C-alpha cells in the first residue's frame, strides 16, 4: 500500500482490507497467457437473429422447416423466453421497458421456432407490438431482415445500395467504422433481393396495423427529405439501372469486406457484421465448404455461450479492454504481484496493431499502432482501448524494457495523430462527423457517425500524460478546451460509451485533473456538485440507460461500477473528504462480497445509444477496486500534505 497511508482512519483501513480481497479475486481470474476476459452480454436480439440466420442457411423444403441445429434453436428460444417481460414485450436493457424492434425480432424467432400462435408467449408479444405501433414502428434493420424472406414489403425498406462503394471522396469512410462493417455486406445481400422461402403458411401479417406506416415529418428543405428523394431514385435504379455497374459495385463490396476478415476474428469482430458477412458470402456463391465461408461461420459460432446451463450470444469479445482496465486498477492498488502485471503487459504488447486499417484513410502518413477491443481485429484499433492500454502500461512493465518503451512511443504518436479538429477524440476515426449522414433512411441505429466525445477525450488526456506527454503540449491544451466547451449546463458531461452522464463526468474530470486543471475552476466545482446532487440514499450511484432517451440524467438503483465512477469523479474534482464521498466508499465496502467481488445485473455499457446496451461483467469488480485504490492513496497523500483537503497536482505528490 502507498507509503504514508493513515490506517488510523477506520474507513481507509476498511478500504485497504477490501482492496486486498479485490486484488486476490482479480488475480485468480487472470488467464495463464496474462489477460483478463469477462463475459459481455446484451439483449435478446442476438439470439433472435441467430434463429433468423438458421432460416437463411437452412431454408424449408416442401414448406417444412427442419433445421439441423434444432437443439440449439430450442435453447435460443428458452434464452429469449427467459427474458420476456410480464407485459409480453422484450427490452434492450435489464429492467427497461419493452422496445418495439427487440419485441418484433423475438416474436419472429419464437413463431418460426414453433411456439403456438395462441399461446401466452406469442399472444403477449403480439399485443405489445401492436400497442407500440406495429411492425412499421420497428427500425430499418429489422424491416430489411424481414424483407429478405418476403415478410415485410421491400418497397417500404430503405435502399442500401452497393454503388456507395463506387462514390468518390471515400464516401463509405464518412460513416462510422461499425456502420461501414454492417452496411457493406448487407448491401450485397440487399442487392440480390433474395426472397428466401419461409415455412408454409408463415406470415407476420398480424403485426401490421391497419393504417399507413408512420413517416417522419421534416421541413421541405432538409437533409431528411433530400435523402428520402434519393431513396426513391435508388428504388428506380434497382429496377432500371445498369446491371454492369451494380455487378461492379457488388464485387468491390465483396473484396472490401473479405479483406477485412483477414487478421481478424470475423468482420469487425462484432456480431452484426459477422452475421451479414455469412449471408453475403452465401449470396456471392461461396459454398459451405469454402474456407472463407467456413471460417466466417466458425468465428460467428464462437460468440455462442452454451455451457449446459446458459445459452446466449456475446456481441463480441473484450479481452484487451478488460485486461487494460484490470491491470490499471491493480497497478493503482500497488499490491499486485509483479509477475501478474508483467504477464499482462507482455500480452498487451503482443496485441499492438502493426498494420494499416480503415483509420489510415484519413491519416495516410501515420505509422500504425494502437489496440483493438477483441482478441484480433487489426483493421480497427480504437482510441479508447489504446488510451486505456497506455494507462495499464504505466504500471505494468513488460519483460523487455526496450520493446515496452518503443511500443508506448508508437502508441503515443498514433493517439496524438488521431485527435480531431475540434480538439476531442472519437472511437475509431478522425473527424467522422458529417452530420447529414445521420438523416439517411437506414441511419436509425443512432450510430451512423463516430464524433468526438467527452468520455474518450478525458481518458486519452489521462493516458497521454501518464505516458510522458507534457501538460503544455498543444494537443493536451486543445483537449482541455474541448472538455470545457462540451460540459452540460448542469455540470455533467455526456458519456457515449458508458451509461451515461456519470460515466462521461468521471472521465472528463480525470482527464482535466491529469492535465493540471485546478480543482477550484468553476466548471470542476460544478461537476463535483452535480455528482453529489445525484447520489442515491443508500450512498451509491446509479443511472438508467433511459438517460439517453431523456437527454438528461435518469436515476436508477445503485451499481458498483457507477458508484466507483462517481467516487473517482469526486476524487478527481478535489473532493477527498465530503460526506458524499464517504458514503460512496461505505457503499462499495458494504456491497463487496466475501470473495472480494461485487454483484451487478444492470447494463452500464453503451453500444448504440437508445438502441443497444452492454453489460461488461468485469466492470463490477475492476472499477470498484480502482476507486478504492485511488481513495486510499488520496487519503494517505492528503495526510502528508501541508494543507489537507486541497487537491495537489500529481507532480507534487511524487
pLDDT tens per residue, range 377-390: 999 999 999 999 99
Q: Do residues 214 and 477 touch, judged by C-beta distance below 8 A?
A: no
CATH number (domain holding residue 88): 1.50.10.20
How many domains is the chain partitioned into structurally?
Answer: 2
Whether the predicted pLDDT of 504 surpasses 70 = yes
pLDDT of res. 649? 34
* Of 173, 585, 152, the residue nearest 364 (C-alpha): 173
Task: Tell me if 252 is assigned to some domain.
Answer: yes
User: Quick one: 31 and 121 in the same domain?
Assistant: no
Task: Tell me if 444 is assigned to some domain.
Answer: no
Q: Do residues 310 and 320 touch, judged by C-beta distance below 8 A?
A: no
pLDDT of res. 329? 98
Q: How do residues 353-386 score in pLDDT, each as one tens digit?
A: 999 999 999 999 999 999 999 999 999 999 999 9
Distance CA 72, CA 90 (A): 21
Which of 290, 313, 336 terminates a domain? The answer is 313
pLDDT of res. 641? 42
Distance CA 447, CA 437 (A): 10
Bridge partners (DSSP) of residue 40 are 616
Whether the predicted pLDDT of 233 surpasses 90 = no
**Among 43, 346, 382, 384, which one carries the catalytic annotation?**
384
User: Quick one: 232 and 277 in the same domain?
Assistant: yes
Helix (H) or strand (E) holding 197: none
pLDDT of res. 131? 97
**pLDDT-derived band at 213, boundaries 50, 70, 90:** low
Task: Tell me if 425 is assigned to some domain.
Answer: yes
Whether the predicted pLDDT of 644 surpasses 50 = no
Q: How many helices (H) and strands (E) does the chain have?
A: 23, 5
Question: What is the pTM (predicted TM-score) of this model?
Answer: 0.94
Which of 313, 338, 364 terminates a domain? The answer is 313
Task: Tell me if 4 is assigned to some domain.
Answer: no
User: Quick one: 174 and 281 in the same domain?
Assistant: yes
Going by their DSSP bridges, the two strands 40-41 and 311-313 should be labelled as unpaired
Task: Tell me if 433 is assigned to some domain.
Answer: yes
**pLDDT-derived band at 212, boundaries 50, 70, 90:** low
Distance CA 388, CA 390 (A): 5
Residue identified by cell 483477414 is 262
Task: Tell me if 5 is assigned to some domain.
Answer: no
User: Quick one: 222 and 76 in the same domain?
Assistant: yes
Which of 295, 313, 331 terminates a domain? The answer is 313
436 C-beta neighbours (distance < 10 Å), count: 15
Distance CA 543, CA 35 (A): 29
Ordered alpha helix ranges (H), 97-213: 100-112, 120-131, 140-147, 177-192
Find all residues with CB under 8 Å of 611, minimum gap 6, and list them.
92, 101, 139, 445, 446, 447
Q: Is 358 a catalytic residue?
A: no
Tell me the residue range of the domain where 353 lies. Answer: 10-41+316-439+450-653
pLDDT of res. 38? 97
pLDDT of res. 437? 85
Whether the predicted pLDDT of 218 surpasses 60 = no
Q: How do residues 94-149 score in pLDDT, each as one tens digit?
A: 999 999 999 999 999 999 999 999 999 999 999 999 999 999 999 999 999 999 99
User: Quick one: 371 and 299 in the same domain?
Assistant: no
pLDDT of res. 642? 36
Find all residues with CB under 8 Å of 5, minimum gap 6, and list them.
12, 16, 632, 633, 635, 636, 639
- What is the DSSP-derived secondary structure letter of residue 375? S
Whether the predicted pLDDT of 653 surpasses 80 = no
The phi and psi torsions of 644 (rounded to 5 degrees) equal -55, 145
pLDDT of res. 169? 86
Task: Tell me if 2 is assigned to some domain.
Answer: no
Task: Tell me if 238 is assigned to some domain.
Answer: yes
Instruction: Please state the separation of Cα 118 from the chain's center in Å.
Output: 37
Distance CA 571, CA 566 (A): 9
Question: What's the first-to-final CA gap in the chain, in angstroms?
Answer: 15
User: Quick one: 201 and 337 in the same domain?
Assistant: no
Mean model confidence pLDDT for the chain: 93
Amino acid at each position: 500500500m502507498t507509503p504514508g497511508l493513515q490506517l488510523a482512519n477506520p474507513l481507509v483501513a476498511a478500504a485497504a482490507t477490501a482492496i486486498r480481497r479485490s486484488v486476490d479475486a482479480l488475480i485468480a481470474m487472470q488467464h495463464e497467457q496474462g489477460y483478463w476476459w469477462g463475459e459481455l452480454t446484451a439483449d435478446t436480439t442476438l439470439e433472435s437473429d441467430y434463429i433468423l440466420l438458421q432460416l437463411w442457411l437452412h431454408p424449408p423444403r416442401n414448406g417444412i422447416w427442419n433445421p439441423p441445429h434444432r437443439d440449439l434453436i430450442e435453447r435460443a428460444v428458452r434464452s429469449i423466453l427467459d427474458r420476456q417481460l410480464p407485459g409480453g414485450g422484450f427490452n434492450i436493457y435489464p429492467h427497461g421497458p419493452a422496445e418495439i424492434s427487440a419485441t418484433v425480432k423475438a416474436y419472429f424467432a419464437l413463431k418460426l421456432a414453433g411456439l403456438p400462435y395462441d399461446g401466452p408467449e406469442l399472444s403477449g408479444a403480439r399485443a405489445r407490438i401492436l400497442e407500440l405501433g406495429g411492425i412499421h414502428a420497428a427500425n430499418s434493420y429489422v424491416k430489411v431482415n424481414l424483407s429478405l424472406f418476403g415478410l415485410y414489403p421491400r418497397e417500404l425498406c430503405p435502399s442500401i445500395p452497393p454503388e456507395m462503394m463506387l462514390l468518390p471522396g471515400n464516401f463509405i469512410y464518412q460513416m462510422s467504422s461499425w456502420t461501414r462493417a454492417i452496411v457493406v455486406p448487407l448491401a450485397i445481400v440487399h442487392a440480390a433481393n433474395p426472397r428466401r422461402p419461409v415455412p408454409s403458411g408463415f406470415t407476420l401479417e398480424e403485426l401490421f396495423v391497419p393504417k399507413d406506416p408512420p413517416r417522419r415529418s421534416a421541413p421541405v428543405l432538409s437533409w431528411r427529405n433530400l435523402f428520402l428523394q434519393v431513396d426513391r431514385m435508388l428504388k428506380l435504379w434497382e429496377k432500371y439501372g445498369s446491371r454492369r455497374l451494380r455487378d461492379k459495385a457488388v464485387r468491390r463490396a465483396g473484396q472490401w469486406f473479405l479483406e477485412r476478415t483477414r487478421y481478424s476474428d470475423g468482420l469487425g469482430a462484432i456480431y452484426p457484421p459477422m452475421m451479414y458477412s455469412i449471408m453475403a458470402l452465401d449470396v456471392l456463391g461461396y459454398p459451405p465448404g469454402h474456407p472463407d465461408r467456413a471460417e466466417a461461420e466458425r468465428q460467428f459460432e464462437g460468440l455462442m455461450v452454451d455451457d449446459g446451463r446458459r445459452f446466449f450470444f456475446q456481441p463480441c469479445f473484450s479481452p484487451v479492454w478488460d485486461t487494460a482496465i484490470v491491470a490499471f486498477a491493480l497497478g493503482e492498488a500497488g499490491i499486485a504481484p509483479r509477475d501478474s502485471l508483467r504477464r499482462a503487459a507482455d500480452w498487451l504488447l503482443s496485441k499492438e496493431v502493426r498494420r494499416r486499417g480503415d483509420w489510415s484513410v484519413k491519416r495516410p502518413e501515420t505509422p500504425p499502432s494502437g489496440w483493438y477491443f477483441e482478441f484480433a481485429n487489426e483493421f480497427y484499433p480504437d482510441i479508447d482501448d489504446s488510451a486505456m492500454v497506455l494507462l495499464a502500461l504505466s504500471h505494468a512493465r513488460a519483460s523487455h524494457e526496450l520493446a515496452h518503451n518503443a511500443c508506448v512511443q508508437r502508441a503515443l504518436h498514433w493517439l496524438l495523430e488521431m485527435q480531431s479538429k475540434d480538439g476531442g477524440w472519437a472511437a475509431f476515426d478522425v473527424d467522422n462527423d458529417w452530420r447529414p449522414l445521420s438523416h439517411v433512411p437506414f441511419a436509425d441505429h443512432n450510430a451512423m457517425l463516430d464524433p468526438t466525445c467527452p468520455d474518450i477525450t478525458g481518458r486519452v488526456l489521462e493516458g497521454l500524460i501518464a505516458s510522458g506527454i507534457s501538460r503544455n503540449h498543444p494537443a493536451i491544451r486543445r483537449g482541455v478546451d474541448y472538455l470545457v466547451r462540451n460540459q452540460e449546463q448542469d455540470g455533467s458531461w455526456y458519456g457515449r460509451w458508458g451509461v451515461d452522464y456519470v460515466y462521461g463526468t468521471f472521465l472528463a474530470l480525470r482527464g482535466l485533473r491529469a492535465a493540471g486543471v485546478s480543482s477550484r475552476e468553476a466548471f470542476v466545482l460544478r461537476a463535483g456538485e452535480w455528482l453529489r446532487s445525484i447520489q442515491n440514499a443508500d450512498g451509491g450511484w446509479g443511472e438508467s440507460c433511459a438517460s439517453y432517451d431523456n437527454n438528461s440524467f435518469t436515476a436508477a438503483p445503485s451499481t458498483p461500477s457507477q458508484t466507483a465512477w462517481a467516487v473517482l469523479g469526486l476524487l478527481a474534482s478535489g473532493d477527498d473528504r465530503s460526506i458524499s464521498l464517504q458514503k460512496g466508499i461505505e457503499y462499495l465496502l458494504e456491497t463487496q462480497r466475501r470473495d472480494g467481488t461485487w454483484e451487478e445485473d444492470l447494463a452500464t455499457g453503451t453500444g448504440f445509444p437508445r438502441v443497444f446496451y452492454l453489460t461488461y461483467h468485469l466492470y463490477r469488480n475492476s472499477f470498484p477496486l480502482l476507486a478504492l485504490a485511488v481513495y486510499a492513496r488520496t487519503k494517505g497523500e492528503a495526510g502528508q500534505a501541508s494543507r489537507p483537503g486541497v487537491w495537489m497536482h500529481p507532480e507534487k505528490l511524487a
